[in-house]
Amino acid sequence: MRIEDADIDTRCVNTIRGLCIDAVEKANSGHPGTPMGIAPAAYVLWQRLLRFDPADPIWANRDRFVLSEGHASTLLWSLLHLAKVQAVDADYEVLGRPAVTMADLETFRQLDSRCPGHPEYHWTSGVEATTGPLGQGLATSVGMAIAERWLAARYNREEYPVFDFDVYALAGDGCMMEGISSEAASLAGHLGLSNLCWIYDSNRVTIEGHTDITFTEDVAARFLAYGWNVTVVANVNDLDAVSRALHCFKEEHERPTLVVVHSHIGYGSPVEDSAKAHGEPLGPEGVRLTKEFLGLPTDVEFFVADGVYDAFASGIGARGSRLHAEWDAMMARYANAFPGLANEIDLMQRRELPTGWEAGLAPFAPDDKGMATRDSSGYVLNAMAEQVPWIIGGSADLSPSTKTTLVDSGDIQHSSWQGRNLHFGIREHAAAAITNGLALCKLRPFWSTFLIFSDYARGAIRLSALMELPVVHIFTHDSIGLGEDGPTHQPVEQLASLRAMPGLLVFRPADANEVVETWRVIGGLRHEPAVVVLSRQALPTFDRSVYAGAEGVAQGAYVLADTDGEPDVVLLATGSEVQLALAARETLAAEGFSARVVSMPCSELFDRQDETYRHQVIPPEVRARVAIEEASTLGWDRYVGDGGEVVGMHTFGASAPLKSLMTKFGFTPDKVADVARRCVQRAKEHR
């Protein structure tokens, strides 16, 4: 049957399939099979249910659609194009141009196209989350659903349903195999997120072949065990069956819903049900045969059938416009009735904080005994949360140790959404991804665990940096200094690994007042995530009348203790090792050596400073430099130069009390002083 003779739904679905085929074929790169197979389900969702206004794709109460199987990105690009979704800039202004033009589709996967190989948040309007690593979109969608529940509990009032959006995620077999999806599904079931719907595209094909070689479990039974509502669509091309399944989700008010949709990868293609259709273009002959099967003209690329644009305009376009206008009218009344709450919503949507949010950031008094930076961070976090109601977060089952409980703020649970303490359970990877989802809904979230377990969450941490989300990742137990737990719990390479990640600020404060200034910097972030690395053991609170003020944290590094005239040696350190540098400085002074101590809580911020400032802190003419950090030495060479040395870790740690470990691995004032003397002597010989 020719496409001109088909009903409008078939014309729309096959137009989507044709655009996906042509985009992949022209790029000679990509995955044509998955978007072809699942196109009917995505079409039904967008056309019949999704509450989304193409004219304003960042409307706060829109439904969220997350393409977790990001390799099927041509499906999303086709939907955005056909629905004529408008582009929005970084200042949240609608630009008056389409988010995805036909030219963008024609340059799929090419440089500067708005249609990259996987969905990229911030790059193409209408993309709710960066996806690509399988399962990440699913876990992120759980954060979005939690955000809706929290926002509704705080801001909704009788006759004012300010927030009541649903969250949909489209996933494939690979997403279901990844462990992160199991973590996230388990928590979603526990919380009873009935506003969450995962559409599982069960096409039973991955790159290596049929899933029978690796994946034979009963996914529906697994999700029933998680406490989910499960419904099955036997044939994705039965649009009414898909619609019924989605309406089943809308009628469920106690559980999240999994819609299992059985599809055929590369539907209609001559390589149907093969791994080739999953991961490679169809080739000219395959394209011709597939288009013939779908009723599409074989001699036209990027063909849009008659009536398709109009159908999207009268479907999702008209519905979204009407619902958005009704919401705007309600919000005008809401702002009159509840001006304070309306102001909070406005600030949140612009990623701004209330006036006076820094009011509770008071300095700590000098104290030789001091406190662990995890403790001081807990105090400061609570002070900030008192001023910023939409700071929420929690821990991967370690709040008593990471000191991240928000006092007198209640817990988030199935029956109580007004709390602000979110218990992630022992699910580090999902915790980080869920926190990304909270941030995508404009909350200011944090999560925490021990630094060593940041490895479990690395994929989601990377995505928070890639999406430029102001998420705070709090990691305590920051070094071998945690002692008896031994090498499995003592981080060594994690700091260097996190610092290597673009767009991520890594802070390791040296005392309570550096903690205060760290959080002051974090509060001002709108488009950058931060890692805060904190000690388990007590650290002295430096006397700032003797040493420089902690406001130098904002520059990433600063001169904490200086000398009269040019120093003989510069000692650079972070975190607990700053006190060690100060002690070594005293040892050297008694021998007639002058040492400058530089605290470097955030090397990324220091690297952004101009050359003048950087040379003021670390004078290039002083070749004798020693960096001290209880971690991998990787990266410190750019600060110590060829005349300096690094006192750091070259092996894993050991199980022993703190003092024994410090002696074994050379983190003592005498050891640092020995290295400093050697560097000074080498510098003299160099002259």
Structural domains of the chain, with CATH: 3-323 (3.40.50.970), 367-540 (3.40.50.970), 554-686 (3.40.50.920)
DSSP 132: -
* CB-count exposure of residue 187 (10 Å: 0-12, 13-18, 19+): buried
CA atoms within 13 A on the CB side of 619: 16
**Mean of the per-residue pLDDT values for the chain?**
95
Least confident piece of the model among 52-61, 199-208, 380-389, 564-573: 199-208
Residue 470's pLDDT band, with cuts at 50, 70 and 90, is very high
Q: Strand 205-206 and strand 209-210: pairing? A: antiparallel
pLDDT higher than threshold 60 for residue 241: yes
Q: What is the pLDDT of residue 142?
A: 98
Integer-rounded Cα radius of gyration of the chain? 28
With the C-alpha atoms ordered 171, 172, 178, 182, is the resulting torsion angle positive or negative? positive
pLDDT higher than threshold 80 for residue 268: no
Q: What are the CA-CA distances from residue 596 to residues 277, 368, 558, 612, 684 (Å)?
A: 63, 21, 10, 18, 17
Q: What is the pLDDT of residue 273?
A: 47
Q: Which two tokens stand for residue 155?
A: 């801001």
DSSP reduced 3-state for 71: helix
Q: Which two tokens stand for residue 309?
A: 């644009």
List 205's β-bridge partners, or say none: 210
Helix axes 669-686, 577-590, angle to 10 degrees: 60
Best CA proximity match to 50, nearest among 76, 24, 23:
76
pLDDT higher than threshold 60 for residue 278: no
Average the pLDDT over 513-525 and give the result. Answer: 98
Is 206 within 8 Å of 162 (Cβ atoms)? no
- Phi and psi, residue 558, nearest 5°: -155, 160
**Taking the mean position of all CA atoms in its chain, how far away is CA 368?**
38
Residue 205's pLDDT band, with cuts at 50, 70 and 90, is confident
Average the pLDDT over 494-505 and give the result. Answer: 98
Percentage of the chain lying above the pLDDT 70 cut: 99
Q: Tell me the pTM.
A: 0.97
Q: What is the pLDDT of residue 279?
A: 66
**Residue with the larger pLDDT of the pair 479 and 268:** 479
| Angle made by CA atoms 637, 643, 645, in degrees to the nearest 5 | 55
- Phi and psi, residue 572, nearest 5°: -110, 140
pLDDT higher than threshold 90 for residue 204: no
Q: Which two tokens stand for residue 518?
A: 């760290």
With the C-alpha atoms ordered 507, 509, 512, 514, is the resulting torsion angle positive or negative? negative
pLDDT higher than threshold 90 for residue 220: yes
Residues contacting residue 93 through CB under 8 Å, at least 6 positions apart = none
Best CA proximity match to 461, nearest among 528, 389, 538:
528
Q: Which two tokens stand for residue 260?
A: 């299992």
Average the pLDDT over 44-68 and give the result. Answer: 98
> In angstroms, rounded to a whole number, what is the distance separating the alpha carbons of residues 647 and 552?
23
With the C-alpha atoms ordered 605, 607, 608, 614, is the resulting torsion angle positive or negative? positive
Residue 2's pLDDT band, with cuts at 50, 70 and 90, is confident
DSSP 641: G
DSSP 161: -
Q: What is the pLDDT of residue 272?
A: 52
CB atoms within 10 A of CB 109: 18
Average the pLDDT over 37-46 and give the result. Answer: 97
pLDDT higher than threshold 70 for residue 276: no
DSSP 62: P
Best CA proximity match to 432, nearest among 452, 451, 449, 413:
449
Query: Which residue do the tokens 């309600």 mark?
Result: 330
Average the pLDDT over 12-22 and give the result. Answer: 97
Best CA proximity match to 450, nearest among 486, 419, 422, 502:
486
Average the pLDDT over 158-164 and give the result. Answer: 97
Average the pLDDT over 600-610 and give the result. Answer: 98
Respond yes or no: is residue 468 known to be catalytic. no
Q: Among the options 69, 428, 629, 645, which is catalytic?
A: 428
CB atoms within 10 A of CB 292: 12
Q: Strand 94-98 and strand 86-88: pairing? A: antiparallel
Average the pLDDT over 480-484 and give the result. Answer: 89
pLDDT higher than threshold 90 for residue 318: yes
For the chain, the farthest-separated pair of C-alpha atoms sits apart, in whole angstroms, at 94
> In angstroms, rounded to a whole number, what is the distance separating the alpha carbons of residues 347 and 415?
28
Q: Strand 538-541 and strand 367-372: pairing? A: antiparallel
653-657, long-range: CB < 8 A, 24+ apart: 653/480, 653/486, 653/487, 653/490, 653/492, 654/480, 654/486, 654/487, 654/490, 655/483, 655/484, 655/485, 655/486, 655/487, 656/483, 656/484, 657/483, 657/484
> In angstroms, rounded to a whole number, what is the distance separating the alpha carbons of residues 540 and 611?
31
| Angle made by CA atoms 556, 496, 135, in degrees to the nearest 5 | 110
> In angstroms, rounded to a whole number, what is the distance separating the alpha carbons of residues 588 and 311?
79
Residues contacting residue 556 through CB under 8 Å, at least 6 positions apart = 600, 601, 602, 603, 604, 605, 606, 607, 608, 609
pLDDT higher than threshold 80 for residue 277: no
* CB-count exposure of residue 417 (10 Å: 0-12, 13-18, 19+): middle
Q: What are the CA-CA distances from residue 56 to residues 126, 327, 522, 630 (Å)?
A: 9, 13, 29, 50
Q: What is the pLDDT of residue 274?
A: 52
List 651's β-bridge partners, or say none: none
DSSP 117: S
Q: What is the pLDDT of residue 447?
A: 98
Phi-psi region at 623: left, alpha or beta (left = phi > 0; alpha = psi -120 to 50): alpha
Q: What is the pLDDT of residue 20?
A: 97
Q: What is the pLDDT of residue 616?
A: 98
